[in-house]
Amino acid sequence: MGGTEYNIPKNAGVAYTCGSQIAYVLHQARLHCFVSTGELSIPASLRSRIASMHFGANRPPAQT
């Protein structure tokens, strides 16, 4: 399977880059990055929160 798993402390509010995707996580979560695809596996309970941060007013600037 492979990939890299990140353990994020509660309220860390840090950014993790996984391929071309960036996830900002404000609550405890575990992200698994599949290096070959750059895909983030995110717990369902956090998907809507992360999506709102990606596509909402607080989304991070695009990186090139």
Number of structural domains the chain divides into: 1
- Alpha helix locations (H) across the chain? 44-55
CA distances from 22 to 30, 42 (A): 14, 12
The dihedral built from the CA positions of residue 61, 11, 47 and 41, taken in this order, carries a sign that is positive
- Residue 48 belongs to a domain: yes
The pLDDT value given to residue 62: 56
Tell me the C-alpha distance between 38 and 58, whole Å.
Answer: 22
Residue 1: pLDDT band by 50, 70, 90 thresholds? very low
Q: How far apart are CA 51 and CA 15, in angstroms?
A: 14
Would residue 9 count as lying in a domain?
yes
pTM across the whole model: 0.23
Residue 6 is predicted with a pLDDT of: 58
Residue 26 lies in a domain: yes
61 in a domain, yes or no? no
For residue 26, the model assigns a pLDDT of 41
Residue ranges making up the domain that contains 25:
4-55
Instruction: Please indicate, yes or no, if residue 30 is contained in any of the structural domains.
Output: yes
Q: What is the pLDDT of residues 11-44, one digit of tens each?
A: 555 555 555 555 444 444 555 554 455 555 566 6
